[in-house]
A and B are shown apart, each in its own frame.
Chain A
Amino acid sequence: MITAFISSAIPLGVPLLYGSTGEIVTEKSGHLNLGIPGIMYVGGIGGVIGAFLYELACGNDIANMNPALAILIPLLCSIGGAILMGLLYSFLTVTLRVNQNVTGLALTTFGIGLGNFFGGSLIKLVDSDMPSIVLTKTSSFFRASLPFADDLGWFGEIFLSHDFLTYLSIVVALVVSFVLNRTRVGLNLRAVGENPATADAAGIHVTRYKYVATCLGSAIAGLGGLQYVMAYANGVWSNDAFGDRGWMAIALVIFALWKPTMAIFGSFLFGALCNANNYINGLGDATQELFKMLPYVVTIIVLVITSMRKKREHQPPQGLGLPYFREER
């Protein structure tokens, strides 16, 4: 049972990991993107639209589908949608210097609206009895896991039985961590987030870094939406099913102290916390609801403790949330 518990916590954590890795990249450039929940919705629905069109083009016959295309088309649609949202956010906050919190919240409303609108329209289009779109065929490509995983007992179930997006999420987090801490680009990005005026004086192109970091972060976060629909939910999109995972991803950024490697452990811990209520016997419906607030309470505790200890490397980027205008003193 413990094996099943751990094994089921991992796919729950993956969207959070994508979301928080993306948000970390964005926050390192000094932008608190509260639009991440909306962007993850757009990433999810982008993938759904791509997969839907491809399945339609293949005449709904799995034999006609090319595995590479079946994965690539939704993947690109998802990333494309998320990047568009990221561009909108960075245009407003970087170029037009609009307040980041307000833009982010508006973007979340907008993105969730987009997701549910297209989702709802597709549901109406296929005229199904259930309020959802089922893309099992595409999902089967996404869910393909290593063939020998089942033979390896508990080790296989925990570590090897997952879809490729799960492993990709860990790779992405590790790469981001490496780039942030070990390369010049990462150093420059961190400089922009800490103090854009200083970075500007040092000859770093602040605007370009902010745009690229925000769009890249959005693209990574969008993959979280895609993983949720295609792998975790077996290719079934129903409106609002993604829930408040986007906010939890933002919480995870704080929990991970802005370190992608910490986010890997954090996301699986959060996945386990979200899932704990299903594995503890004898909980009533009501108590289950109380258990669901665990991830948030843990985040608050971490937030408070880090701010009390005031360790320099555990603080958010100093320029977080502040607009930068070169001609302002």
Chain B
Amino acid sequence: MADTTVKKHREPLLHIAKRDDMVWWKACLIRLSAILLALLLVGIISSLLTGEGFGGVYSIMLRGAFGRIFQGKTSLLWRFFQQTAILLCLSLAVTPAFKMRFWNCGAEGQALIGGLAAMVCMMKLGGKMPEWLLIVVIVVFSCLAGAVWGVIPALFKAHYKTNETLFTLMMNYVATQIVAYYVYLTGKGSGIIQPVSTGNLPVIAGLPYLLNILIVCVLMVVLFVYLKYSKHGYEIAVVGESQNTARYIGIRVKKVIIRTMLLSGALCGVAGLLLVAGTDHSINTNTVGGQGFTAIMVSWLGHFNPFVMALISGLVVFLRSGAGKVADSFFLNGSFADIVSGVVILFLVGCEFFIRYSVKIRRGKKGGNA
């Protein structure tokens, strides 16, 4: 478009300008209203599809996610915490990489390989050594496997600037096929590995998954401190902002990229370990179930702050199980849950615009009539 002087210049109706930092409560208000708007939209869609009233839809969603809390049945609530913990663990894992502007889209594969390492240890070494030693071996190997899977793209990124988004994406499918290979190999053609009883993470206080949740809580705090207060965290932030600045102040960028991806991959390995040794005691190609991708959105929406990420993981899990329940009760297809969480996430990423930019309506001389 050549808006030269010959043509009559037309002013755009809306003027977009970058904002300075917004007051935190205003930003929170915008995000909250985005969530509420999205939930309203979800409610409207659900009532249209099911014929149930608004209140009914929401109460079913609540029940689907938390169960009947007030009647003392906590098992659903417990599952909610477990699922939130796993999603949070994956989100924590990708966060250091993201903060460095390294698009680790391979959490799925890194977790799967970590889980596979745990599974192999459980099956091959189970019964051949004391249980505590086995668990130590499992932890070491899953972290190692995840780290290796994460560091391969990082090495190429650091040395040759290979596009990491695409590289890590491809690594997911390589990991999936390796797991499929292993499952067929050990499952003797049935395509299923029966749950293994050795090398399972211990159950604390009779509550299954409690250890998973505790581990993730500890990781959350540690990662917050690591990113915010440690020298490594500072280096990550600088490399993310500008690699040239980092080089100028004497940070060895290659080393930081490789080190951070080792950490990111190892944390994904932990998520795989929690899924295999702590939850399923078995593995299949769908063990991580796309949560590696959801984690990327959670990490982004949480602005790399582990505590905010915990809240968002909770929201996503709530929507998924709640919408699942709505779908169940009204005989809708289970993918309804994907649509609902998709809508809410799209609203949430969209509202960031209004936090970072301000939109002014021009009331110019020539007919700014909005």
B294 in the interface, Cβ–Cβ < 8 Å? yes
Task: Give the chain A neighbours of B56 by CB distance below 8 A.
Answer: none
Contact with A along B160-180 (1 / 0, CB 8 A): 111101110111011011101
Range for the number of chain B residues in contact with chain A: 35 or more
Residue of A whose beta carbon sits closest to that of B105: A101
Bound CA span A91–B334, Å: 28
Task: Give the chain B neighbours of A297 by CB distance below 8 A.
Answer: 170, 174
B103 in the interface, Cβ–Cβ < 8 Å? yes
A61 in the interface, Cβ–Cβ < 8 Å? no
The reply to whether A299 and B297 form a contact with Cβ atoms under 8 Å apart is no
A153 in the interface, Cβ–Cβ < 8 Å? no
Cβ 8 A contact of A102, one of B170, B177, B296 = B296
Of A11-19, A46-54, A64-72, A116-124, which binds chain B? A116-124
**Nearest CB of chain A from residue B320's CB, rounded to whole Å:** 10
Residue of A whose beta carbon sits closest to that of B295: A105
The reply to whether A304 and B342 form a contact with Cβ atoms under 8 Å apart is no
B51 in the interface, Cβ–Cβ < 8 Å? no
Residue of B whose beta carbon sits closest to that of A306: B162
Of B24-32, B219-227, B346-354, which binds chain A? B346-354
B6 in the interface, Cβ–Cβ < 8 Å? no
The reply to whether A112 and B296 form a contact with Cβ atoms under 8 Å apart is no
Of B73-81, B82-90, B181-189, B200-208, which binds chain A? B181-189
The reply to whether B333 and A124 form a contact with Cβ atoms under 8 Å apart is yes
The reply to whether B162 and A114 form a contact with Cβ atoms under 8 Å apart is no
**Nearest CB of chain A from residue B183's CB, rounded to whole Å:** 8
Contact with A along B217-260 (1 / 0, CB 8 A): 00000000000000000000000000000000000000000000
Task: Give the chain B neighbours of A97 by CB distance below 8 A.
Answer: 353, 356-357
Known A116-B333, A117-B336; judge A296-B17 contact (CB<8 A): no
A203 in the interface, Cβ–Cβ < 8 Å? yes
The reply to whether A108 and B293 form a contact with Cβ atoms under 8 Å apart is yes
Task: Give the chain A neighbours of B174 by CB distance below 8 A.
Answer: 293, 296-297, 300
**Nearest CB of chain A from residue B293's CB, rounded to whole Å:** 5
**Nearest CB of chain B from residue A255's CB, rounded to whole Å:** 10
Bound CA span A199–B42, Å: 40
Q: Which of B161, B173, B297 has the most CB of A within 10 A?
A: B173
Bound CA span A255–B276, Å: 34
Cβ 8 A contact of B335, one of A96, A120, A304 = A120
Which residues between 261 and 314 of chain A lie within 8 Å of chain B, taking CB atoms? 284-287, 289-290, 292-293, 296-297, 299-300, 303-304, 307-308, 310
The reply to whether B166 and A250 form a contact with Cβ atoms under 8 Å apart is yes
A6 in the interface, Cβ–Cβ < 8 Å? no
The reply to whether A99 and B346 form a contact with Cβ atoms under 8 Å apart is no
**Nearest CB of chain B from residue A62's CB, rounded to whole Å:** 29
Known A203-B2, A289-B181; judge A105-B297 contact (CB<8 A): yes
Residue of A whose beta carbon sits closest to that of B323: A113
Known A98-B350, A286-B181, A293-B178; judge A303-B163 contact (CB<8 A): yes
Which residues between 278 and 322 of chain B lie within 8 Å of chain A, taking CB atoms? 290, 293-294, 296-297, 300-301
Known A307-B160, A307-B161; judge A117-B170 contact (CB<8 A): no
B363 in the interface, Cβ–Cβ < 8 Å? no
Of A134-142, A177-185, A320-328, which binds chain B? A320-328
Residue of B whose beta carbon sits closest to that of A328: B18
Cβ 8 A contact of A98, one of B169, B176, B296, B353 = B353
**Nearest CB of chain B from residue A257's CB, rounded to whole Å:** 12
The reply to whether B335 and A106 form a contact with Cβ atoms under 8 Å apart is no
A32 in the interface, Cβ–Cβ < 8 Å? yes
Cβ 8 A contact of A113, one of B16, B162, B337, B350 = B337
Residue of A whose beta carbon sits closest to that of B182: A286
The reply to whether B342 and A113 form a contact with Cβ atoms under 8 Å apart is yes
The reply to whether A101 and B165 form a contact with Cβ atoms under 8 Å apart is yes
Cβ 8 A contact of A92, one of B18, B334, B349 = B349
Cβ 8 A contact of B167, one of A287, A303, A325, A328 = A303
The reply to whether A303 and B170 form a contact with Cβ atoms under 8 Å apart is yes
Q: Which of A107, A244, A300, A307 has the most CB of B within 10 A?
A: A300
Task: Give the chain B neighbours of A154 by CB distance below 8 A.
Answer: none
The reply to whether A98 and B352 form a contact with Cβ atoms under 8 Å apart is yes
The reply to whether A92 and B333 form a contact with Cβ atoms under 8 Å apart is no
Residue of A whose beta carbon sits closest to that of B184: A286
Residue of A whose beta carbon sits closest to that of B298: A102
Task: Give the chain B neighbours of A292 by CB distance below 8 A.
Answer: 177, 180
Known A32-B165, A98-B353, A203-B1; judge A113-B181 contact (CB<8 A): no
Contact with B along A247-267 (1 / 0, CB 8 A): 100110010000000000000
Cβ 8 A contact of A296, one of B173, B296, B353 = B173
Residue of A whose beta carbon sits closest to that of B349: A98
**Nearest CB of chain A from residue B365's CB, rounded to whole Å:** 23
The reply to whether A96 and B166 form a contact with Cβ atoms under 8 Å apart is no
Cβ 8 A contact of A307, one of B162, B191, B356 = B162
The reply to whether A102 and B300 form a contact with Cβ atoms under 8 Å apart is yes
The reply to whether A116 and B181 form a contact with Cβ atoms under 8 Å apart is no
The reply to whether B297 and A106 form a contact with Cβ atoms under 8 Å apart is yes
Task: Give the chain B neighbours of A289 by CB distance below 8 A.
Answer: 177, 180-181, 184
Residue of B whose beta carbon sits closest to that of A115: B335
Task: Give the chain A neighbours of B191 by CB distance below 8 A.
Answer: 285
A90 in the interface, Cβ–Cβ < 8 Å? no
The reply to whether A254 and B337 form a contact with Cβ atoms under 8 Å apart is no
- Which B positions have Cβ atoms within 8 angstroms of A? 1-3, 16-18, 103, 105, 156, 160-163, 165-167, 169-171, 173-174, 176-178, 180-181, 184-185, 189, 191, 290, 293-294, 296-297, 300-301, 331-339, 341-343, 345-346, 349-350, 352-353, 356-357
Would you give 12 A-B contacts (Cβ < 8 Å), ordered by A?
A: A34-B105, A96-B353, A106-B349, A109-B294, A109-B338, A111-B342, A117-B338, A124-B331, A205-B1, A285-B184, A287-B181, A310-B160
- In addition to A113-B338, A297-B170, 19 A-B residue pairs with Cβ atoms within 8 Å of each other are A32-B165, A34-B105, A88-B346, A102-B296, A102-B300, A106-B345, A108-B293, A109-B294, A113-B337, A113-B339, A204-B1, A244-B173, A251-B170, A286-B184, A290-B178, A293-B177, A303-B163, A307-B160, A307-B162
- Sorted nearest first, the 10 A-B pairs with minimum C-beta distance are A113-B338, A120-B333, A110-B342, A116-B335, A293-B177, A96-B353, A286-B184, A289-B180, A307-B162, A205-B1
